[in-house]
A and B are shown apart, each in its own frame.
Chain A
Amino acid sequence: MTNEPTTTLAAPIGQQERIIFLDSLRGIAILGILLMNIPGFGLPYAAINDFSVQPQGDLNYFFWYVFGPGVFEGSMRGLFSMLFGAGMFIFITRLEKRTTGLMAAELFMRRQLWLLVFGLFHAYVLFWFWDVLYHYAICGIVLFAFRRLQPKYLFMAAAFCLLAMTAVENKNLYRQKSTIRKGELIAKIDTTTTKLTDKQKAQLGSMNEIKESSTPEAKKKKIEKQTAAVTGSYSELYKERSKNAEESETYGMYYWAIWDVSLFMLLGLAFFKLGILQGEAKTKIYAWMVIIGLGVGLPLSYLFVTFDVNHHFNWFEIIKTKPFDFYEIQRFVHSIGIFGLIMLMYKSGWFKWFFALLRPVGQMAFTNYLTQSIMCGFFFLGIGLGYFGKLEYHQLFYVVATVWIIQIIWSHIWLRYFRFGPLEWLWRSLTYWKKQPLKKNTTDTDTMGMG
């Protein structure tokens, strides 16, 4: 219908064009994300953030604290989001140089929409209810309009996301506080003398719901139910997991992901434009990130986590007594610290072997992300080996280590013979709607993808 812009120059990135260091960072992020996800793979949903329902012991607590909310939580997905934001920018600007018309934008949108399809596949076929491809696809589409902003404005937008997330968290907290307060007032009414109105009955019921679900017995029952579903038949698994996935894609997308994910995507865009992401900034910048990020972040996280621990994870009591929810703030601060730490390792020059080891893992990050779900699904789900709910917290990390070793080895091997990971190849072929070359050959040039 309209003038067809030249598509022959629209091709995926040539080997030489890849910014090598970003691949290593992505490799770290991808392996690190498994640390965060393994509780979701291996433990019932009700047990994930709740240490009280786990087999106790210092070893388990250590793993729960360090590889969970105390140190690493949110940092790996933060790093991933930063790389995604930067990658979006790289993709579009590179294609803008090679194509005419709106082709670059169209290819970007197609890429995002295919990612969304993969996300749905990940959530409803591979049963990984904590899929983020869906959310990243949507955030990417929304942030397209922000890509040209200067770092200054990107930082402002990121700050807005942080504020918005904090506001949403506290709105929820205070709404629940009010539910409890109203319910407790009604509970004091002497029902032998006064009858409760319907509205009062409802409010009392809401409060009691929170109270009862916070007892160890109720938690145990929930855990039993979830374990039965996930280790059960295919249809029970589907029913349980698709419910979680749908909640994540509706409520989770609008109340949490849009702020939490966009925050670090915007930061990634800004850091990329300033050279910070690629390791080109001065060492002292990274040093300050570590000092403030971990110096302030780790104590903040400690406060955040131990509040729940000291109240024995009784959500009812926690809601009543917690003055301010600062999950996103503490996550943001310690994530910056961890990022700074990784960059210091890079700048020191002593860890070249480490970054080189993780480079192929990051180059096939998409494949590795999905195969984590396939492998862990096979190991834990009832339709596989069924270890769901059977391992203690620290034992989950044996699974992590095993998956890491497998993924590092196969990434190195695969990328010796092929240009992209298998799912990368699939995603690119769908985006360009043209079968991409897969096998590596000796004439590896910029003209990849044509002819």
Chain B
Amino acid sequence: MANEAMLAVPVAQQERITILDSLRGIAVLGILVMNITGFALPAPAYHSDLAVMNEIGTINQKVWFIVEWGLEGTQRALFSILFGAGIILFLDRQEKRKGGLWPTDYFFRRQLWLLVFGLIHAYLLLWFWEILFPYACCGMILFAFRRLSPKALIIAAGICLLLMTLRENADFLRDKATIHQGEIAAKIDTTKNSLSIIQQEQLKAMMSFRERSSLESRKKEMEKSLQNVRGDYATLYKYQSERSFYMETIGFFTFFWDILLFMFLGMAFYKNGILTGNAPVKVYLLMCLVGLFAGLILSWYRLQPLINNHFNKFDYIKNVKLEFYEISRVFRSIGFFGLIMLLHRSGWFKWLFNLMRPVGQMAFTNYLMQSILCGIFFYGIGFGYFGQLERYQIYFVVAGIWIIEIVWSHIWLHYFLFGPFEWLWRSLTYWKKQPLKKNNSITGTMGIS
């Protein structure tokens, strides 16, 4: 039993599939583009509300539009694809080296430690939009699906899309009904008839929804957000931890299918070679053209009513018929993925993929470091730039962090085998201190003294 334990080791350098590392590097840098609004802007501005900070009609709106129209949701999709593929990779390799149920045990330990990291990320580093927690949970669920064929996995992804669309519309229509019923109750002449208990409730619900959606309320929310994030540690902790808790419970529960969808696709794409760049070029071409074409059109149509209603949720829900965010996001994400793979296959961007590779090899570290760096720059307990920069300016911060992360990833991996947090995660999973420094005799027996 002791001998067997020594064979359970992390992946040796040569075994890594380099294209996956490059893709992960792109994803982790891309995710910062999505997350920076949460780090830098107060609620509700960070989540597509351009009215509260008077951004309508300015360059900020243009910047917002480009990100929201094109990129939104695509980065975490790429991340999920790689996460799903990573599950299969991990288990396949473990199965080759160790018998019994040990691969499963290591896998679940790995996921549980990831969950712990997620909790630390949310409650210590105070990043409320963190994804390690939901990814850890989804990973545990995906174990049961790992041996499905690519076709079955794609069907599973399709089911996720269907369920997510149903869910977002169920919530959407429920809110519409609240408004509708409340407005009916409001029209009743209360001098003649008194309202029943249920009608009173409906009226109250509609009016509170309308009140919450008003510009005044949203501005108050912004004030509160600014005060809390710029405040001391206790204030910041209370505010961010409440948001984190909401994301980990109701948020996770409601967006569960959104998160799972691309993990299934990742597992499928890994198995049929699409992810590793081994599919015919026309596959990627098709993905890119159909995905971007359909996705960008749908996304455009989705954003117009939001803009026309001045980002007022009450009016948006009242005037729009159906919600199709998930569909638009899936098309755009597939399109974006296809585009990247075309760049890879063209062979003209080797420099880019080589540049991204170390970033992706230490993606876990880089993801956490983004939260640390942004926390220091934006939160009150740091330099306090929260809410001080205009929307277009925060993307300069993104560029700055990109440069830092690309440079240090290359340097670090020149001397060490894994990123620091990768090393920590692996050591905890195998419950054994892993080697860290690179040496010249790197073989497949790494980890065995």
| A residues with CB within 8 A of B | 1-2, 92, 96, 101-102, 104-106, 109-110, 113, 141-142, 144-145, 148, 198-199, 224-225, 228, 236, 246, 249-251, 253-254
Q: A228 to B105, alpha carbons, bound, how many Å?
A: 49
Contacts of B147 in A (CB 8 A): 1-2, 106
Cβ–Cβ < 8 Å partners of B253 in chain A: 246, 249-250
A199 CA / B271 CA spacing, docked (Å): 55
Besides A106-B146, A109-B141, 19 other CB < 8 A contacts? Answer: A2-B92, A96-B101, A104-B101, A105-B101, A109-B143, A113-B141, A113-B144, A141-B140, A142-B112, A142-B140, A144-B108, A145-B105, A145-B108, A198-B220, A224-B197, A225-B197, A249-B253, A251-B250, A254-B249
Question: What separation, in Å, do the CA atoms of A106 and B223 have in the docked complex?
Answer: 50
Are B198 and A228 in touch, CB under 8 angstroms?
yes
**B55 contacts the other chain (Cβ, under 8 Å)?**
no
B91 within 8 A of A: yes
Determine how close the nearest CB of chain A comes to the CB of B17; give it in whole angstroms: 17
Contacts across chains A and B counted by CB atoms under 8 Å: 64
7 A-B contacts (beta carbon < 8 Å): A113-B144, A145-B108, A148-B105, A236-B198, A246-B250, A249-B253, A250-B250
List the 7 shortest-distance A-B pairs measured between CB atoms, nearest first: A250-B249, A105-B104, A109-B144, A145-B108, A250-B253, A110-B144, A250-B250
Report the separation of the CA atoms of residues A251 and B95 in the bound assembly, to the nearest whole angstrom: 37
Q: Which residues of A contact B105 (CB under 8 A)?
A: 145, 148
Known: A145-B108, A145-B112, A198-B220. A254 touches B201 (CB 8 A): no
A110 to B146, CA, bound (A): 11
B217 → chain A closest CB, angstroms: 11
CB neighbours of A148 from chain B (8 A)? 105
- The answer to whether B101 and A228 have CB atoms under 8 Å apart is no
Q: Within 8 Å CB of A1, what residues of B?
A: 147, 149, 271
Cβ of A397 to closest chain B Cβ, rounded Å: 30
Please give, as numbers and ranges, the residues of chain A lying within 8 Å of B248 by CB-CB distance: 254
B290: min CB distance to chain A, Å? 27
Mark B102-116 against chain A: 1 for CB-CB distance below 8 A, else 0. 011100110010000
Considering residues A105, A225, A249, A254, which has the most beta carbons from chain B within 10 angstroms of its beta carbon? A105
When the two chains form their complex, are residues B103 and A102 in contact, meaning their CB atoms are under 8 A apart? yes
* Residue of A with least CB distance to B94: A102
Given the interface pairs A105-B143, A106-B144, A246-B253, the reply to whether A145 lies near B109 with Cβ below 8 Å is yes
Residues of B within 8 A of A104 (CB): 101
List the A residue with the shortest CB-CB distance to B148. Answer: A1
- From B92, B101, B141, B201, name the one whose CB has the most chain A CB atoms within 10 angstroms: B101
Rounded to whole angstroms, the CA-CA distance of A11 and B141 in the bound complex is: 22
Residues of chain B with a CB closer than 8 A to A251's CB: 249-250
Q: Which residues of A contact B103 (CB under 8 A)?
A: 102
Instruction: Report which residue of A145, A246, A254 has the largest number of chain B beta carbons within 10 angstroms of its beta carbon.
Output: A145
User: Which residues of B are found within 8 Å of A246, using beta-carbon distances?
Assistant: 250, 253
CA distance A254 to B246 in the complex (A): 11
* Interface SS of chain A: helix
Q: Which residues of B contact A109 (CB under 8 A)?
A: 141, 143-144
Residue of B nearest to A147 (CB): B105
A145 to B271, alpha carbons, bound, how many Å? Answer: 27
Tally chain B residues at the interface, Cβ within 8 Å.
32
Instruction: Report the bound CA distance from A92 to B101 in whole Å.
Output: 10
Q: Mark B327-339, 1 if CB is under 8 A from A, else 0.
A: 0000000000000
Complex Cα spacing A101 to B140, Å: 18
Across the interface, do A106 and B249 meet the contact criterion of CB distance under 8 Å?
Answer: no
- Bitwise, B61-103 to A at CB < 8 A (1) or not (0) is 0000000000000000000000000000001100100001101
Docked-complex contact B250 and A225, CB < 8 angstroms: no
| B93 CB → nearest A CB, Å | 12
CA distance A249 to B253 in the complex (A): 8
Knowing A1-B147, A1-B271, A254-B248 are in contact, say whether A102-B108 is a contact too (CB < 8 A).
no
Give the contacting residue for B95; candidates A96, A102, A142; CB below 8 A.
A102
Q: Mark B185-220, 1 if CB is under 8 A from A, else 0.
A: 000000000000110010000000000000000001
- Interface of chain B residues 99 through 139 with chain A (CB within 8 A): 100-101, 103-105, 108-109, 112
Residues of A with C-beta under 8 A to B245 = 254
B149, closest chain A residue (CB): A1
**Alpha-carbon distance between A106 and B147 when the two chains are bound, in angstroms:** 9
Q: Which of chain B's residues has its CB closest to A106's CB? A: B144
Complex CA distance for A249 and B249, rounded to whole angstroms: 8
B197, A228: Cβ atoms under 8 Å?
A: yes
State A439–B95 Cα separation when bound (angstroms): 38
Which residue of chain B has its CB nearest to the CB of A225? B197
Q: How far is the CA of A225 from the CA of B198 in the complex (A)?
A: 8
Closest to B174 in A: A239
Complex alpha-carbon distance, A355 and B91, angstroms? 44
- Tell me the complex Cα distance, A145–B139, Å: 14
CB-defined contacts of A101 to chain B, threshold 8 Å: 95
Closest to A236 in B: B198
B223: nearest residue on chain A (CB-CB)?
A198
**In the complex, are the beta carbons of B141 and A141 less than 8 A apart?**
yes
**Contact B101 A102, beta carbon cutoff 8 Å:** yes
A380 to chain B, nearest CB (A): 20
Tell me the minimal C-beta distance from B344 to chain A in angstroms: 24
| Closest CB in chain A relative to B282 CB, distance in Å | 24
Residue in B closest to A145 when the chains form the complex, CB atoms = B108
Decide if A225 touches B144 in the complex (CB within 8 Å): no
Residues of A within 8 A of B140 (CB): 141-142
- In the complex where A1-B149, A145-B105, A254-B249 touch, is A102 in contact with B141 (Cβ < 8 A)? no
Residues of B within 8 A of A236 (CB): 198
Chain A residue at minimal CB-CB distance from B142: A109
Bound complex: CA A145 to CA B141 (Å): 14
Residue in chain B with minimal CB distance to A96: B101
Instruction: Knowing A2-B147, A142-B112, say if A102 contacts B104 (CB, 8 Å).
Output: yes
| A282 to B101 alpha-carbon distance, docked (Å) | 33
Q: Mark B240-259, 1 if CB is under 8 A from A, else 0.
A: 00000100111011000000
Report B-chain residues with C-beta under 8 Å of the C-beta of A250.
249-250, 252-253
Complex CA–CA separation, A115 to B12 (angstroms): 38
State in angstroms the CA–CA spacing of A198 and B92 once bound together: 57
The CA of A106 and the CA of B144, in the complex, are separated in Å by 5
Shortest C-beta distance, B48 to chain A (Å), equals 24
Q: Quick check: B104 and A225 within 8 Å, CB to CB?
A: no
Task: Write the nearest CB–CB distance from A430 to chain B, whole angstroms.
Answer: 12
Distance between Cα atoms of A198 and B197 in the complex (Å): 31
What is the bound-complex CA distance between A253 and B133, given in angstroms? 14
Chain B residues whose C-beta falls within 8 Å of the C-beta of A144 in the assembled complex: 104, 108
Report the minimum CB–CB distance from A5 to chain B (whole Å): 10
Q: Cβ of B91: which chain A residues have Cβ within 8 Å of it? A: 102
A145 to B253: give the CA distance in the assembly, Å: 23
* Inter-subunit contact A225/B95 (CB<8 Å): no
- B352-378 CB mask vs A (1 if < 8 Å, else 0) is 000000000000000000000000000
Chain A residue at minimal CB-CB distance from B252: A250
- Measured CB to CB, the nearest residue on chain B to A175 is B238
Instruction: Find out whether the CB atom of B143 lies under 8 angstroms from the CB atom of A106.
Output: yes
Instruction: Specify which chain A residues have a CB less than 8 angstroms from the CB of B250 in the assembled complex.
Output: 246, 250-251
User: With A and B bound together, what is the CA distance between A48 and B117 in angstroms?
Assistant: 38
> CA separation between A343 and B118, bound complex, in Å?
42
Residues of B near A253 (CB, < 8 A) are: 249
CA distance A429 to B445 in the complex (A): 43
Instruction: State whether A225 touches B201 (Cβ < 8 A).
Output: yes
Q: A253 vs B105: C-alpha distance in the bound complex, in angstroms?
A: 23
Least Cβ distance of A295 to chain B in Å? 37
Interface centre among B103, B109, B141, B252 (most CB of A within 10 A): B141
The answer for the CA separation of A224 and B253 in the assembled complex, in Å, is 30
* In the bound complex, CA of A199 to CA of B220 (Å): 10
CA distance A345 to B285 in the complex (A): 72
Alpha-carbon distance between A205 and B198 when the two chains are bound, in angstroms: 24
A144–B102 Cα distance when bound, in Å, is 12
Min C-beta distance of A250 to chain B, whole Å? 4
How near does chain B come to A196, taking the closest CB pair, in angstroms?
14
Residues of chain A lying within 8 A (CB to CB) of residue B198 = 228, 236
C-alpha gap A144/B112 in the complex (Å): 11
